[in-house]
């Protein structure tokens, strides 16, 4: 294995804060973890430099419209390739794979693409002709789950070039203290990036959250994430919530998140449409929208105050759930998830340890599993946390470094692609 000191990595991604979401958090941590052992620079969207990890130089491209970001990012990446001569061009998703490939050719760098699922499954013919070709030509394609790895094989990526590195999770201090390589000291992070550090467990935070919203001892179901069609929250409210309320009349569904605005290919389910479905189902008094919450400490208090995390992701052809990072975040706070067994969620929920998986689309089974999980909440707490520890960001970083080292040290015997 190569000594990573002195290795130059240029990460190209549209998915960074100030955009909010799992891919944005992953790419931020990708830069942060790699910068601990290599020289890392980033081509990112407008506003991302102010929130970058300490010591990471960011060149910004205008976020909107998409075509302008891609053109500016390509120019910036090629400029860095000529002047800085990175060893590895790393695309933070399939979207920037052609940019990484183009810049790598200028300086003889290796190329690596981290793929999330949807960026492999897009069916648009132009995307498949240009973007999938760039993904297939990469020296290494790192998938976020076994399901995404299978998607890569189905579109012609050489199986020998595919690796799997699951996304990481910010462990609460009580869990992070037990990880051999815990989070980096806060001194490494720039002001404004604290939302991406491991959250502090403030004693009584969960109780204060319940008190602030006058929730008492109500059983709390929690949904966290963008309100996209794939996430299936409207269908959950229509088909599952009435069954749960019939069994547990005081049950309340908390919703953290909002309809996607900057995400690509994501169709929205607006809060208004979900409320309308609740009224039709007669459960409109069992729904509380909390909006988007980016402060991880505040979100941690909500995780700890809740009883079950629900993940009713729909199995939609061409729109896969690549992993399910939020289920691991919930587990890190001792909160079990109940989910449909679809896509990469199978990797993110351990049956009987961090929650339950039920057949995709079986709403009756989902209802039964959630009611059961409400009774198991305390008994699953410790096994949830134990399961989540394997996804700590330092572990993600070490695995990523291993695969980047492997493409640098490998002797290529294949013909030029």
pLDDT of 411:
43
What integer pLDDT is reported at residue 172 of this predicted model? 86
Q: Taking the domains of the chain in order of start, what are their residue ranges?
A: 8-170+393-409, 202-389
Of 82-86, 170-174, 205-209, the poorest mean pLDDT is in 170-174
Chain segment 55-69, per-residue pLDDT in tens = 999 999 999 999 999
pLDDT of residue 319: 85
Higher per-residue confidence, 251 vs 413: 251
Band the pLDDT of 127: cuts 50, 70, 90: very high
CB 212 within 8 A of CB 251: no
Q: Is the pLDDT of residue 264 over 60?
A: no
C-alpha R_g of the chain: 21
Does the fold of domain 202-389 match that of domain 8-170+393-409? yes
Q: Which pLDDT score, from 0 to 100, does residue 166 have?
A: 97
CATH of 8-170+393-409, one of 3.40.50.2300, 3.30.56.10, 3.40.50.2000, 3.40.710.10: 3.40.50.2000
- β-strands 88-91, 110-115: how paired? parallel
Q: For 16-46, what is each residue's pLDDT tens digit?
A: 999 888 899 999 999 999 999 999 999 999 9
Helix axes 296-305, 325-332, angle to 10 degrees: 70
Flag the least confident range among 30-39, 169-178, 388-397: 169-178
Choice among 88-92, 180-184, 346-350 with the minimum mean pLDDT: 180-184
**CATH code for residues 202-389:** 3.40.50.2000
What tens digit of pLDDT does each residue of 133-149 get? 999 999 999 999 999 99
Residue holding tokens 């290796």?
110
* CA distances (Å), origin 236, targets 257, 310, 314, 319, 410: 15, 9, 10, 18, 48
Identify the pLDDT of residue 170.
Answer: 86
What confidence tens digit (pLDDT) does each residue in 180-198 have?
Answer: 444 443 334 443 344 455 5
């Amino acid at each position: 294995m190569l000594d990573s000191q002195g290795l130059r990595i240029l990460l190209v991604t549209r998915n960074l804060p100030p955009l909010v979401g799992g891919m944005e958090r992953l790419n931020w941590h990708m830069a942060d973890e790699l910068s601990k052992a290599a020289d890392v620079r980033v081509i990112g969207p407008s506003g991302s430099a102010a929130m970058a990890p300490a010591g990471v130089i960011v060149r910004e491209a205008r976020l909107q419209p998409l075509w302008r970001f891609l053109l500016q990012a390509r120019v910036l990446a090629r400029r860095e390739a000529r002047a800085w001569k990175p060893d590895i061009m790393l695309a933070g998703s399939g979207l920037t794979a052609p940019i990484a490939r183009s810049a790598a050719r200028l300086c003889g760098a290796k190329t690596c693409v981290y793929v999330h699922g949807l960026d492999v499954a897009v069916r648009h013919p132009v995307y498949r002709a240009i973007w999938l070709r760039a993904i297939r030509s990469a020296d290494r394609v790192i998938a976020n789950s076994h399901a995404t790895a299978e998607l890569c094989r189905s579109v012609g990526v050489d199986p020998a070039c595919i690796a799997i590195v699951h996304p990481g999770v910010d462990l609460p201090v009580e869990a992070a203290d037990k990880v051999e390589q815990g989070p980096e000291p806060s001194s490494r992070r720039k002001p404004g990036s604290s939302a991406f550090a491991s959250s502090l467990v403030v004693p009584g935070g969960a109780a204060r959250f319940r008190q602030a919203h006058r929730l008492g001892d109500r059983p709390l179901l929690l949904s966290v994430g963008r309100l996209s069609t794939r996430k299936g929250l409207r269908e959950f409210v229509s088909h599952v919530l009435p069954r749960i309320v019939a069994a547990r009349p005081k049950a309340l569904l908390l919703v953290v998140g909002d309809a996607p605005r900057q995400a690509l290919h994501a169709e929205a389910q607006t809060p208004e449409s979900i409320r309308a479905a609740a009224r039709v189902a007669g459960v409109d008094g069992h729904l509380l929208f909390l909006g988007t919450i980016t402060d991880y400490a505040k979100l941690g208090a909500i995780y700890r105050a809740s009883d079950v995390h629900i993940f009713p992701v729909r199995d939609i052809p061409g729109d896969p759930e690549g992993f399910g990072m939020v289920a691991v975040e919930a587990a890190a706070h001792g909160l079990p998830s109940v989910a449909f067994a679809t896509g990469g969620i199978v990797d993110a929920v351990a049956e009987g340890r961090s929650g339950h998986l039920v057949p995709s689309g079986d709403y009756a089974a989902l209802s039964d599993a959630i009611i059961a999980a409400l009774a198991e909440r305390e008994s699953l707490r410790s096994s949830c946390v134990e399961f989540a520890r394997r996804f700590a960001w330092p572990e993600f970083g070490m695995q990523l470094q291993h695969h980047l080292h492997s493409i640098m040290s490998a002797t290529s015997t294949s013909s030029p692609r």
